[in-house]
Amino acid sequence: MKVHILDDWFDTLRGLPCFSKLADHEVTVWTDHEPDPVKLAARMRDAEALVLFRERTKVGAELLAGLPNLKLISQRSVYPHVDVTACTAHSVLLSSNMHAGAPSYAAAEHTLALILASYRQIPQQTASIKAGHWQSGVGRTLRGRTLGLYGYGRIAGAVAEYAKALGINVQWWGSEAGRSRAHAAGETVAASREAFFASSDIVSVHVRLKPETRGLITATDLAQMQPRALFVNTSRSGLVETGALEAEVAKGQLHAAVDVFDHEPLTDTSNILLTHPNVLATPHIGFVTEDEFDLQFSDIFDQINAYATGAPIHMINPEVYP
Q: What angle do CA 152, 213, 184 make, to 5 degrees?
A: 20
Residue 121's alpha-carbon distances to 127, 167, 254, in angstroms, are 10, 19, 15
Task: Note whether 179 and 148 are within 8 A (CB).
Answer: no
- The answer to whether 55 touches 77, Cβ cutoff 8 Å, is no
Distance CA 134, CA 144 (A): 28
Between the CA atoms of 141, 287, 31 and 16, what dihedral angle is there, to the nearest 10 degrees? 110
Q: What is the β-pairing status of strands 2-5 and 26-29?
A: parallel
Annotated active-site residue 33? The verdict is no
Active site residue 236: yes
Residue in 236, 248, 255, 314 annotated catalytic: 236
Active site residue 81: no
Strand 202-205 with 169-173, pairing? unpaired
CA–CA separation, 86 and 92 (whole Å): 8
CA distance 49 to 69: 9
Question: At a CB cut-off of 8 Å and minimum separation 6, what does 298 contact?
Answer: 17, 18, 21
Of 4, 255, 284, 314, which is the active-site residue?
Answer: 284
Alpha carbon 71 to its chain centroid, in Å, reads: 27
CB of 77 within 8 A of CB of 100? no
Contact 146, 201 (CB under 8 A): yes
Choose, from 26, 161, 264, 290, the residue flagged as catalytic. Answer: 264
* Radius of gyration for the alpha carbons in the chain, expressed in angstroms and rounded: 21
Report the half-sphere exposure of 81 (CA within 13 A, side-chain side).
Answer: 19
Report yes or no: 150 and 174 within 8 Å, Cβ to Cβ. yes
- Which residues participate in catalysis according to the annotation? 236, 264, 284
